[in-house]
Amino acid sequence: MRLLIIIPFLYLVSCASVPMTGRKQFVAIPTSQMIALSGESYSKVLEENKISSNVYYRERVNAVGENVTRAVETYLKQNGLETYIEGYQWQYNVLVSEELNAWCMPGGQIAFYEGIMPVCINDAGIAVVMGHEIAHAVAQHGNERMSQQLLIQLGGIALSEAMKTQKEQTIDLALIAFGVGSKIGVELPFSRTHENEADELGLYFMAMAGYDPSIAPVFWERMEALGGTPVPEFLSTHPNPANRIEHLKQIMPKALEYYHNR
């Protein structure tokens, strides 16, 4: 019976290209199902966590989030790539937690933790993190990771079947795949490919929204200064800040073009 489930799952695998980078990727879950899964997963997170009472944090994250997502939508539409975010419902929240972390689910649901806000300092710093996390969603990294988890953890069962027969376990797998794994005691770091890709797209996205991309290396220098023991959450599941800073400097000229030509 399990083989009968695996076979249609594998047939769903399709080849796509990440916008702007052109990297070929395999995604095994229809976008509509990913968006539905994101909605349920986000609801679970909001039920289990307290939304910050810090009005300033909430206002800044919401304002920067709207600016960046508006710029991303405009760029994708102008270049005939709007299908990459079709059906996305952008949401922005700040959660009560000292973790230095943030994430964006495949359907556009975003959360910052209070702990990372002082490191951001200002809107430009928030845009560095916002652009990076939105890039993960636009590049369908969550779909790639969730497809892998379905194969490894649930034996290749299709998402629709998993949600019917193993809903809670499937949502927990989704939270891990979306970068929210630490909340349930499990971490699944994004691959180096995904992180480098999110850094690149995120830098372009913040520049398109009018935030100086040269702030990005400065933000990561602040993050690096917070290293040591214990390692901040946002570093434990991400590449070494020094390597990230060097990569950002290499792609900075193109980002500055987007910044000056917006």
Q: What is the pLDDT of residues 112-151, one digit of tens each?
A: 999 999 999 999 999 999 999 999 999 999 888 887 777 7
Q: Which of 103, 101, 130, 127 lies closest to 114 in space, CA to CA?
A: 101
More confident residue, 34 or 94: 94
| CB proximity list for 221: less than 8 A, separation 6 or greater | 241, 245
Q: Alpha carbon of 102 to those of 4, 87, 129, 185: distances in Å? A: 38, 22, 7, 16
Report the alpha-carbon distance of residue 95 to residue 99 in Å, rounded: 10
- The string of pLDDT tens digits covering residues 188-216 is 556 778 888 999 999 999 999 999 999 99
Q: For position 156, what pLDDT does the model report?
A: 55
Q: Which of 100, 52, 60, 47 lies closest to 233 in space, CA to CA?
A: 100
The H or E element containing residue 95 is strand 91-95
The H or E element containing residue 92 is strand 91-95
Give the angle subtended at the CA of 250 by the CAs of 136 and 256, to the nearest 5°.
80
Assess whether pLDDT exceeds 50 at residue 246: yes
Q: For position 86, what pLDDT does the model report?
A: 93
pTM score of the predicted model: 0.84
Q: For position 184, what pLDDT does the model report?
A: 42
Mean pLDDT, the chain, whole residue set: 83
Q: For position 190, what pLDDT does the model report?
A: 60
What confidence tier does 177 reach under pLDDT thresholds 50, 70, 90? confident
| List of domains in the chain | 2-260 (3.40.390)
Report the alpha-carbon distance of residue 244 to residue 204 in Å, rounded: 15
More confident residue, 206 or 32: 206
Q: For position 27, what pLDDT does the model report?
A: 79
